[in-house]
A and B are shown apart, each in its own frame.
Chain A
Amino acid sequence: MTEPLPGSWHWLDPAGLQQLIDALRRRGHRVVGPQVADGAIVLRELASVAELPTGWLDEQDGGSYRLRHDPAAGTFDHVVGPHSLKNFLFPARETIASFTRTDGAWTQTHAPAPDPPLAVLGVRGCDLAALAIQDRVFLGSGYVDEAYKARRERLFLVAVNCRRAAATCFCHSMGCGPAAGPSFDLALTEIGNRFACEVGSDRGAAVLADAIAAGALMTACSEAEIDAARGVPRDLAARMHARQGVVDRPTPRSLDTHGIRDLLMRNLEHPRWDEVASRCLSCTNCTLVCPTCFCSSVQEVADLSGDTVDRERQWASCFSLDHARMHGQSVRSSTASRYRQWLTHKFASWIDQFDTSGCTGCGRCITWCPVGIDVTEEIAAIRATDGAASADAGRETP
């Protein structure tokens, strides 16, 4: 048996995967992974490989998600569900400070308790890319988000190389998949009924070594087997590129990103914004399922006396009127202006702000839009009629 080292590859059978989960739990990690619940594959705490969604596939399209049982499907042949790493690293609601007033003097009473370290099993390339983007937002500037940082530093990532794409997946267009990367502790490639496990970090090697010490059998992969495993996401990427422009139902998504920043910024008065606004619900779903959207609002929640105050941070969305409310009025009162804000930030001004696109091609915003609005279709429509001006161009906001 070869000792695990960064860059080494080892075979895990389902029992070996269980021993990996056990090793993480022994180290105090809360292990979260994909599971079938409420008609979807969600991320939840798990203790056993039996809880993984072996034999389940997800059929996704605009505004539609359905599970289908397929005896031939493996453990990780589903793709991304409604949850992402964001739900765990940047929770929807968090008390960031508490204060009490005694005899007119305020004291801070709340030091956020550290969560147990988290290990996430089954993270895909698109979501690893999203994590790298959120890292830039929360850690990369002069303003470090301490709560995020504490969770992020102890996060253990067991990635998975995709071998299947949903119709809504377009990571190949965004350069964010389907291969796992840019970084992980371990990455699994499902082949037959076992997993080729690539070690991506010292921590990953240490956890595998723990599992082996506890009795897990993990034979080393041969050079030929490593090549075959590397070929799995490469083959899928080739198939995803080949399906570009293919007419099928549901339509396989892709996005032409050539000059996308300038394309969107020179079309701020395009009539398509009004057209999409006639369908958009301003319901915020796209932003909340997006693994990179990072907006939040902070409010003080006091008891009746006003002597005990919690400072709470919660997710915010550019689709709500409050998001752009200044001096008592929202400066983005129309749905068209809010949709334009979201799309141009995600695909254009994000590049100015963070030197990367805000989109990883995970497709969640397409699937979980209740009326199936599709960013790839909206951008393609603008590209097809580049320069079209709204009938009432010149107004202040659409």
Chain B
Amino acid sequence: MFKFASCDGCQLQLLDAQDRLLELAGRVEIDHFLEASSRVVPGPYDVGLVEGSITTAEDVERIREIRRQCRFLATIGACATSGGIQALRNWGRIDDFLAAVYATPETIAALATSTAIADHVPVDFELRGCPIDRGQLLDLLTAVLLGRKPHVPGHAVCVECKSRGIVCVAVAKGIPCLGPVTQAGCGALCPAHDRECFGCFGPSESPNLVSLTGFYERRGTPRESLVRLVRSFNAAAPAFRAESDRLEASE
């Protein structure tokens, strides 16, 4: 398990797996998982999981070395798969942020952008989510152990809402929800609590954002609210990025 710019929440999904973690530890040798243990066994490794986005020049070098060390490399979470919430910096000026946040900005060496791991090295599998779903992570590891494809569908969150019998918040309450264009995996967590989907799992397999945001706009949602809705945890995922840029350009 390797960490880049991230909050560690995705790694915690594995630590929180409790009895399943013990089961996993009985099947694999965990050589590098600093969140769990300071014991580090040098590579090469059979499987590498990467959390976080690339935000420094050192990161670029380190991910290349990790890629060389791992036979199978999977990225986990919104940061690793799309740049994460910190990719909001991609729309601003890095120097402005540094000056606003740090007392001595000249000591900070950060890239101007936050980017996905796959922008830098080939990735064998991506697990979406902010954070990832524990069940999907365990399924991915099971799939690797058993030599099958992971059960990670690309369809929309709506499948999970309808499967659970959750009443659609967009249709019944007029709440602009990203569920119809967001990949499933969370189990429809937010709609189950009467909130819209925030797009934590990134774009679904065939997202039609232009149609959805156009419908919400005709129903009275201001364009700037739609930009904020699409530009969040997966702001830099290509389909979401293109849509927030399109909405902003036509504002």
- A residues sitting closer than 8 Å to B (CB atoms) are 37-40, 42, 63-66, 82-83, 87, 92-93, 278-285, 288-289, 299, 301-306, 314-315, 317, 319-322, 335, 367-368, 370-372
CB A303 to nearest CB in B, in angstroms, measures 7
A282 touches B156 (CB 8 A): yes
User: CA A321 – CA B172 in complex, angstroms?
Assistant: 27
Does B42 belong to the interface (CB within 8 Å)? Answer: no
Tell me if B151 and A301 are in contact (CB < 8 A). yes
* Nearest B residue (CB) for A319: B155
Instruction: Tell whether B162 is near chain A: CB-to-CB under 8 Å.
Output: yes
7 cross-chain pairs, A with B, having the tightest CB-CB distances, nearest first? A92-B163, A288-B162, A283-B180, A38-B167, A39-B172, A371-B215, A320-B155
Within 8 A of A (CB), among B181-195: 181, 194
Determine whether the beta carbon of A39 is less than 8 Å from that of B173: yes
Residues in B with CB closer than 8 Å to A37 are: 167
Please state if A285 and B168 are interface contacts (CB–CB under 8 Å). Answer: yes
- B123 CB-CB contact with A under 8 Å: no
- Name the residue on A nearest B155 (C-beta): A320
Chain B residue numbers with a CB within 8 Å of A320 are: 153-155, 159, 205
Other-chain residue from B163, B172, B173, B211 in contact with A314 (beta carbon distance below 8 A): B163
Among B24, B168, B208, point to the contact of A368 (Cβ < 8 A).
B168
13 contacts between A and B (CB under 8 A): A38-B172, A38-B194, A64-B174, A82-B168, A279-B208, A283-B204, A285-B162, A288-B158, A302-B146, A304-B20, A322-B153, A370-B168, A370-B180
Q: Mask for B205-225, Cβ within 8 A of A = 1, else 0?
A: 111100110010000000000
Chain B neighbourhood of A279, CB < 8 A: 208, 211
**Is B166 part of the contact surface with A, judged by Cβ < 8 Å?**
yes
Query: Which residue from chain B places its CB closest to the CB of A283 in the assembled complex?
Result: B180
A63 to B219, CA, bound (A): 10
Using Cβ atoms and an 8 Å threshold, which residues of chain B touch A83? 165
Contact of A92 among B27, B153, B162, B174 (CB under 8 A): B162
What residue in chain B is nearest A299 (Cβ atoms)? B151
Q: Which of B139, B145, B146, B154 contacts A322 (CB 8 A)?
A: B154
User: B145 near A321 (CB under 8 angstroms)?
Assistant: no
B170, closest chain A residue (CB): A370
Taking CB atoms, residues of chain A closer than 8 Å to B172 are 38-40, 65-66, 82
- Decide yes or no whether B138 CB sits under 8 A from chain A: yes
- Whether A315 contacts B142 by the Cβ 8 Å rule is no
Contact of B208 among A65, A280, A284 (CB under 8 A): A280
Contact A281 B146 (CB under 8 A): no
Q: Among A37, A305, A320, which residue has the most Cβ atoms of chain B within 10 A?
A: A320
Give the residues in chain A near B153, CB-CB below 8 Å: 320, 322
Is B141 an interface residue, CB under 8 A from the partner? yes
In the complex, how many angstroms separate the beta carbon of A35 from the nearest chain B beta carbon? 12
B62 within 8 A of A: no
Roughly how many angstroms separate A40 CA and B172 CA in the complex, as a whole number? 7
Give every chain A residue within 8 A of B156 (Cβ-Cβ).
281-284
Identity of the chain B residue whose Cβ is nearest the Cβ of A87 in the assembled complex? B165
B159–A315 contact, CB under 8 A?
A: yes
Bound: A335/B212 CA distance, A: 14
Residues of B within 8 A of A288 (CB): 158-159, 162-163
Q: How far is the CA of A64 from the CA of B218 in the complex (A)?
A: 13
Residue of B nearest to A41 (CB): B167
Instruction: Find chain B residues with CB under 8 A from A278 CB.
Output: 208, 211
Which residues of chain B have C-beta atoms less than 8 A from A315's C-beta? 159, 162-163
List chain A residues, Cβ under 8 A from B162.
82, 92, 284-285, 288-289, 315
Closest to A63 in B: B171
**Chain A min CB distance to B203 (Å):** 12
User: Which residue in chain A gives the minimum CB-CB distance to B159?
Assistant: A284
Contact string against A for B residues 107-147, beta-carbon threshold 8 Å, 1 for contact and 0 otherwise: 00000000000000000000000000000001101100110
CB proximity of A165 to chain B, nearest CB, Å: 19
Q: Is the CB of A371 within 8 A of B212?
A: yes
B106 contacts A by Cβ under 8 Å: no
CA distance A223 to B232 in the complex (A): 66
**Which residue of B146, B158, B194, B206 contacts A306 across the interface (Cβ within 8 Å)?**
B146
Contacts of A370 in B (CB 8 A): 158, 168, 170-171, 177, 179-180, 212, 215
Known: A40-B172, A66-B172. A317 touches B167 (CB 8 A): no
A85 CB to closest chain B CB (Å) equals: 13
Complex formed: what's the CA distance from A304 to B194 in Å? 34
A93 and B27 in contact, given A299-B151, A303-B142 (Cβ under 8 angstroms): no
Q: Which residues of B contact A321 (CB under 8 A)?
A: 154-155, 205-206
C-alpha gap A321/B23 in the complex (Å): 34
CB distance from A62 to the nearest CB of B (A): 10
- A residues within 8 A CB of B211? 278-281, 371
Among residues of B, the one whose C-beta sits closest to the C-beta of A288 is B162
Distance of B133 from chain A, by nearest CB (Å): 14
B164 proximal to A (CB < 8 A): yes
How many Å lie between the Cα of A42 and that of B168 in the bound state?
A: 12
- The answer to whether B174 and A317 touch across the interface, beta carbons within 8 angstroms, is no
CB distance from B155 to the nearest CB of A (A): 4
B142 touches A92 (CB 8 A): no
**Could you say which of B141, B154, B171 has the most chain A C-beta atoms within 10 Å of its C-beta?**
B171
Question: How many angstroms from the CA of A320 to the CA of B180 in the assembled complex?
Answer: 12
Chain B residue nearest to A61 in the complex (CB) = B171
B146 to chain A, nearest CB (A): 5
Q: How far is the CA of A282 from the CA of B208 in the complex (A)?
A: 8
Report the minimal beta-carbon distance from B8 to chain A, rounded to whole angstroms: 24
Which A residues are CB-close (under 8 A) to B151? 299, 301
A195 to B138 alpha-carbon distance, docked (Å): 54
Residues of B within 8 A of A301 (CB): 139, 151
